[in-house]
Amino acid sequence: MSGEEEENAAELKIGDEFLKAKCLMNCEVSLILDHKYEQLRHMSEDPLNQVSQVFEKSLQYVKRFSRYKNPDAVRQVREILSRYQLTEFELCVLGNLCPETVEEAIAMVPSMKSC
Amino acid sequence: MFSEVELLRTVIMLQKNLGQDKLASQRCIVTQLLRRLSMEKASEHEGYFLNVTGLKRIGKGQAIGRSGYTFFPVKFTCRTFMPVPGETLQGVVYRVCRTGAFMSCGPVNVVFLSTLKMPGYHYVAGEEPFFLGSDLSKIETGVVVQFVVLAVRWIENVYGRKELQMLASILGDNLGPISLCEW
C-alpha cells in the first residue's frame, strides 16, 4: 500500500505534489469534462469511441456527485471558500461534501481544527 | 481528489518522423505524448490521467548515438484523479459478498469495504445479498456509500493491468450509505 511518509488527508499530510497542485471540486471537473465531451460530440458521431474509459468513468462520477450544476454557482462556491485560510485540498473537500454544520465540517476535514 | 498537476515526460521520436519546421515537430511530439498518456492511463504517484490541459515546454532533444531516435523532455499540465488516504469520497456498490462490499469510485474500479470497517452492519445472504445496519440502512448493489479512504494500492502486473485500488472504511461520522434523494 502507498504511504511512504504515512499519507493522511485528515492531517493534511498529502505529499508535496498535492500541496503544489491546483485541486478541483467535482462540480468544476464536471463542467470541464462535459464541455470536452460536447466538443467531441460535435466532431464525431460516436464521442464515446473517442474518449478513454478513464475519461468516461470520471465524467459519470462527477456528473452524479456534483453538488452544483450552474457554472456561476460553481464559481461562487470557490470564490466564497477562498476567502478563508484553507488549503486547496480543504477547499475542494468542503465544496464536494457540503457539510451542514461546523462539527460536520471538522469531522470531514479534521485538519481545519487548527483554522 | 481531482487536481491539475504539472508533469514531466520523455517523448522518444524517430528523427525521420520529425517535421521540417519547428511547428510540425512540436505537433509530432505532442501527438506522441498524448498517445503515450492514453496508453499509460495512470501512474502510481500521479493517479489517473484525464486530459492534458496545456503544454509548458518542450526541452532540447537529445539524440541517442546513431540509433535514429531522439529524446525530448516535455513539461505539461494535466488533470488527474488521485485518491489520498484520509480523504472522504463516494462510491457505488456493485458487488456484495460475505467479507464486504466492492465499490467503484470514478476511474477506480476496485474499492473494497470490509465488514471489519462497517460496524453495526450484518450480512444478509440471498440471491441479492446485502448488509443491513442497526438503523435499518442497507448497503446493497447500486447504493451510494460515503467512505473514508484507508489505503491506496498500485497494481501493475505482467498482463499489462495497471490500476489503483482502495480500501475503504465507514467508521466515523457522516459515513455510510447515502439516501438517493440527496443525489
Number of independent structural domains in chain A: 1
Class of B88-177 per CATH? mainly beta
Q: Chain A, 60-99: which have a CB under 8 Å from a chain B CB?
A: 61-62, 64-65, 88-89, 92-93, 97, 99
In this structure, what C-alpha cell is assigned to residue B46? Answer: 500521479
The rounded distance, in Å, linking the Cα atoms of A65 and B183 is 7
Contact A104 B174 (CB under 8 A): yes
Q: Which amino acid is at A82?
A: S
Q: Which domain holds residue A96?
A: 23-114
The predicted-structure confidence for B141-150, as pLDDT tens digits, reads as follows 999 999 999 9
Domain ranges of chain B: 2-81, 88-177
The predicted-structure confidence for B47-77, as pLDDT tens digits, reads as follows 999 988 889 998 888 888 777 888 889 999 9
State chain B's mean pLDDT as an integer.
89
In this structure, what C-alpha cell is assigned to residue B95? Answer: 458487488
Q: Is residue A10, in this structure, part of any structural domain at all? A: no
Say if residue B29's pLDDT is above 70: yes
Residues of B with Cβ-Cβ distance to A36 under 8 angstroms: 51
Contact B79 A24 (CB under 8 A): yes
The predicted-structure confidence for B72-130, as pLDDT tens digits, reads as follows 899 999 999 999 999 999 999 999 999 999 999 999 999 999 999 999 999 999 999 99
pLDDT at position B66 = 79
Contact A54 B87 (CB under 8 A): no
CA distance, residue B6 to nearest chain A CA (Å): 8
Nearest-by-Cβ selection for A2 from B50, B88, B152: B152
| Ranges of residues in chain A whose predicted pLDDT is under 50 | 1-3
Closest residue in A to B5 (Cα) is A21
The rounded distance, in Å, linking the Cα atoms of B114 and B118 is 7
Contact A11 B86 (CB under 8 A): yes
Q: Which ipTM score applies to this complex?
A: 0.85
Tell whether B154 is within 8 A of chain A (Cβ).
yes
Q: Is residue A6, in this structure, part of any structural domain at all? A: no
Say if pTM beats, i.e. exceeds, 0.80: yes
CA distance, residue B41 to nearest chain A CA (Å): 7
Class of B2-81 per CATH? alpha beta
Q: Is residue A5, in this structure, part of any structural domain at all? A: no
State chain A's mean pLDDT as an integer.
83
Q: Is residue A69, in this structure, part of any structural domain at all? A: yes
Q: What is the CATH number of the domain that holds A74?
A: 1.20.1250.40
Q: Is residue A18, in this structure, part of any structural domain at all? A: no
Q: Can you give chain B as a three-state secondary structure string?
A: CEEEEEEEEEEEEEHHHCCCCHHHHHHHHHHHHHHHHHHHCEECCCEEEEEEEEEEEECCCEECCCCCEEEEEEEEEEEEECCCCCCEEEEEEEEEECCEEEEEECCEEEEEEEHHHCCCEEEECCCCCEEEECCCCEECCCCEEEEEEEEEEEEECCCCCEEEEEEEECCCCCCEEECHHHC
Q: Is residue A50, in this structure, part of any structural domain at all? A: yes
Residues of A with Cβ-Cβ distance to B44 under 8 angstroms: 2
